[in-house]
Amino acid sequence: MTAFVYPFEREYMQLALAAGLVVGVSAPLIGAFLVQKRMSLFGDGMGHVAFAGVAGGLLLDVWPVWTALVFTVAAALAIERLRARGTASGDLALALFFYGGIAAGVVLASRAGAMDAGILTYLFGQPLTATRADVFAVTILGVVIVATIAVVGRALFATVIDEDWARVAGLPVAGLNAALAVLTAITVVAAMQVVGVLLVAALLVLPVASGQIVARSFRGVLAWSVVVGAGSVITGLVAARVWSLAPGGTIVLVAAAVFAIVATTVRFRRGRMPEVVHAVSGHGEPHEHPHN
Amino acid sequence: MPVTEATPLLEARGVTFGYGREPVLDAVDLHVHPGEYVALVGPNGSGKSTLLKLLLGLLEPQAGTVRLFGESPERFRDRRRLGYVPQRPVLARDLPATVAEVVATGRLSSRGWGMRLRPDDRVAVDAALTAVDLTAERRRLVASLSGGEQQRAFIARALASGPDLLVLDEPIAGVDAASQRRFRDTLRALVRDGGTAVLLVSHELGAVGEDLDRVVVLKRTVIFDGSPQELVESGVHLGVHREDLPLWLEGLR
């Protein structure tokens, strides 16, 4: 670690870098599947539920990471169950937990007497205050995410293309969807420390948005998204240190800037807006090829 | 139940189904034996798509039984033996998936969905791409292909597991004439040379009608089950307006 030079010569910056890199790598891996399933806002909803979990932890005097993990995993499974059973449409189920989560967070935090500057750490992230225990927990969560995707990634990809086909092929579609929901919940909790619950969805989606423009295959999207995610974390932390900026917000702004640069470059090279814009905005149109 | 030569690969007996109070299928019997080339046809709204979902285990019949390779769909585990080509899915323009990546998912049922693909899986993918003449397009994004090319990519995905039975849902809808002829040749080679059984679900048969062993006409229940020649000779009346008749049936007459 002593080999690090400015701006990573201090231990707190090294810990922030370690936690940030774990999140920068793992979040886009999950985001690539969410974006293709038109579930880009799922991470945002999980972030709101995580806020309730943090507030619950503060109220119960339990480490907020654990309570956030319990809250988000439970909510993720509940949303997926509602969606799969058709009880509520995907976005309506998400909205129920989205608003319920933030409301519960406010109520629980006020009950705990924690509606002060301390709660901002969780809302907007503060990687510079991460402890070794925090980094250890984030790393464990990151390893779980990457290892799980390594095993179920191909099958998840098959469900992205066509869920009915995947069922006929004998793939456990309900289990895979539940796994993706739980992985998203875990990612949100891991990323909470780095960019905060309000910005967590950005690390799930923005690197993927850039990766989809550059890559020419799904494997390529995963690789480019991870590069952009990790690169945004490093660049964001450096910029935050050099110019004394809020690191969570800076990381997200870097990821957004990368997308803007890549999208603009491609637009000028191809003479039109890249198709990924439709995906990110959730307005992807069915493709009708002129040959038909 | 042991699978023997006489065991149909696919069988429906007295299958009845409805959405709410609306009856869609009434006591439907259907079977496909090894090596058979069968078309399930009928006008729009005849229950073809619902029957297909029941046969594949995506829906459960309200009465009657369905058997896949001699087993109920929920107990049927050897999924590599069943190749399924759904109606051409509406792909998002931004789907970043190459033809080879899509076809490789067809190996998940053979290899096991959590396992890494191995060299013999790549050989199978190459063979499936060759069978549909898409080898040159393997690195292209599937969403950038024409409708006919996309359909061939999805047929290749179904072939990648080396199935004994191929089920195709409206495979030639919206596909140009040249692609239909190529599609006919591909299926002909599969059935005659590979011994693969085929169940083709369609409201029009286009170029493939002459190759069929059997035609099953569905209109809520099976109103005809026999060879294409018998169908012509029997002068089947579907009881619908001429404009609703499948184009292939008009051709046969």
What are the tens digits of pLDDT across the range A36-50? 988 888 888 899 999
B171 interfaces chain A, CB cutoff of 8 Å: no
Of A169, A275, A286, the CB nearest to B109: A169
Q: Are the C-beta atoms of A34 and A20 separated by less than 8 Å? A: no
pTM given for the model = 0.85
On the question of pLDDT at A268 being above 60, the answer is: yes
Q: Are the C-beta atoms of A255 and A203 separated by less than 8 Å? A: yes
On the question of pLDDT at A212 being above 90, the answer is: yes
CATH code assigned at A48: 1.10.3470.10
Question: Which residues in chain A touch residue B166, judged by CB atoms under 8 angstroms apart?
Answer: none
B174 interfaces chain A, CB cutoff of 8 Å: yes
* Model pLDDT, residue A14: 92
Q: Which residue in chain B is spatially nearest to A149 when comparing CA positions? A: B114
Rounded to the nearest integer, the mean pLDDT of chain B is 85
Q: Which residue in chain B is spatially nearest to A159 when comparing CA positions? A: B105
Partner-chain contact B175 A164, CB within 8 Å: no
State the Cα–Cα distance between residues A50 and A102, nearest whole angstrom: 9
Helix (H) or strand (E) holding A229: helix A218-243
* Model pLDDT, residue A271: 63
Of B96, B139, B157, the CB nearest to A212: B96
Give the pair of three-digit tokens for residue A266.
């491609």
* Model pLDDT, residue A282: 39
Residue whose pair of structure tokens reads 């809250």 in the numeric block:
A71
For A201, counting Cβ atoms within 10 Å of its Cβ (0-12 exposed, 13-18 middle, 19+ buried), the class is buried
State the Cα–Cα distance between residues B247 and B228, nearest whole angstrom: 14
State the Cα–Cα distance between residues A266 and A253, nearest whole angstrom: 20
Question: Which residues in chain A touch residue B98, judged by CB atoms under 8 angstroms apart?
Answer: 216-218
Q: Is B153 helix (H, G, I), strand (E, B) or coil?
A: helix
Non-local (6+) Cβ contacts of A35 within 8 A are A205, A208, A209, A212, A279, A280
In a domain, A6, yes or no: no
Strand partners, B105: none
Residues B122-152: pLDDT tens digits?
999 999 999 888 999 999 999 999 888 898 8
B101 interfaces chain A, CB cutoff of 8 Å: yes
On the question of pLDDT at A61 being above 60, the answer is: yes
Q: How far is CA A197 from CA A125, A229, A248, B64, in A?
A: 7, 17, 10, 52
In a domain, A117, yes or no: yes
The 10 Å Cβ neighbour count of residue B223 is 15
State the Cα–Cα distance between residues A123 and A246, nearest whole angstrom: 12
Question: Which residues in chain A touch residue B102, judged by CB atoms under 8 angstroms apart?
Answer: 161
A153 interfaces chain B, CB cutoff of 8 Å: no
Q: Which residue in chain B is spatially nearest to A152 when comparing CA positions? A: B114
**Phi, psi of A234, deg, nearest 5:** -65, -50
In a domain, A70, yes or no: yes
Best mutation target among B99, B105, B155, B182 (most A Cβ atoms within 10 Å) is B105
Of B105, B114, B174, the CB nearest to A151: B114
> Closest Cα partner for B249 from B50, B49, B43?
B43
Residue numbers of B between 47 and 86 with CB closer than 8 Å to A: 56-58, 77, 79, 82, 84, 86
State the Cα–Cα distance between residues A144 and B202, nearest whole angstrom: 45
The 10 Å Cβ neighbour count of residue A284 is 20
Partner-chain contact B58 A219, CB within 8 Å: no
Give how far A288 is from chain B: nearest CA, Å: 8
Non-local (6+) Cβ contacts of A272 within 8 A are none
A270 interfaces chain B, CB cutoff of 8 Å: no
* Model pLDDT, residue A121: 81
Question: Which residues in chain A touch residue B148, judged by CB atoms under 8 angstroms apart?
Answer: 291
On the question of pLDDT at A35 being above 90, the answer is: yes
For residue B166, the Cα-to-chain-centroid distance in whole angstroms is: 5
Superfamily for the B10-252 domain: P-loop containing nucleotide triphosphate hydrolases (3.40.50.300)
Total domains present in chain A: 1
* Model pLDDT, residue B170: 85
**Phi, psi of A115, deg, nearest 5:** -80, 65
In a domain, A203, yes or no: yes
Q: Which residue in chain B is spatially nearest to A167 when comparing CA positions? A: B58
**Phi, psi of A143, deg, nearest 5:** -65, -40
Partner-chain contact A162 B86, CB within 8 Å: yes
Of A152, A154, A162, the CB nearest to B89: A162
Helix (H) or strand (E) holding A140: helix A132-161
Strand partners, B11: B31, B67
Of B101, B109, B139, the CB nearest to A218: B101
Q: How far is CA A143 from CA A17, A100, B50, B72, in A?
A: 16, 30, 43, 39
Q: Are the C-beta atoms of A56 and A71 separated by less than 8 Å? A: yes
State the Cα–Cα distance between residues B9 and A44, nearest whole angstrom: 47
Question: Which residues in chain A touch residue B95, judged by CB atoms under 8 angstroms apart?
Answer: 36, 160-161
Q: What is the DSSP letter of A112?
A: T
Highest average pLDDT, of B4-18, B169-183, B196-210, comes from B4-18
For residue B249, the Cα-to-chain-centroid distance in whole angstroms is: 19
B98 interfaces chain A, CB cutoff of 8 Å: yes
**Structural domain boundaries, residue A115:** 11-281
> Closest Cα partner for B84 from B11, B12, B169, B147?
B169
Partner-chain contact B105 A161, CB within 8 Å: yes
* Percent of all residues in chain B with a pLDDT value above 70, rounded to a whole number: 88
Partner-chain contact B94 A162, CB within 8 Å: no
Question: Would you tell me the crossing angle of helices A90-111 and A42-60 to the nearest 10 degrees?
Answer: 20
Strand partners, A256: none
Residues B212-237: pLDDT tens digits?
999 999 989 998 899 888 877 776 54
Give how far A132 is from chain B: nearest CA, Å: 33
As a whole number, mean pLDDT of residues A265-287 equals 54
Partner-chain contact A221 B82, CB within 8 Å: no
Partner-chain contact B146 A167, CB within 8 Å: no
pLDDT band at A204 (very low <50, low <70, confident <90, very high): very high
* ipTM of the prediction: 0.87
Of A217, A276, A287, the CB nearest to B98: A217
Residues B68-102: pLDDT tens digits?
999 999 999 999 999 999 987 777 777 899 999 99
Residue A290 or B249, more confident: B249
Give how far A3 is from chain B: nearest CA, Å: 38
For B89, counting Cβ atoms within 10 Å of its Cβ (0-12 exposed, 13-18 middle, 19+ buried), the class is middle
Non-local (6+) Cβ contacts of B9 within 8 A are B32, B33, B34, B68, B69, B81, B164, B165, B197
A111 interfaces chain B, CB cutoff of 8 Å: no
Partner-chain contact A217 B101, CB within 8 Å: yes
* Model pLDDT, residue B5: 57
Q: Give the range among A95-99, A109-113, A210-214, A279-283 with minimum mean pLDDT.
A: A279-283
Residue numbers of A between 175 and 194 with CB closer than 8 Å to B: none
Partner-chain contact A171 B108, CB within 8 Å: yes
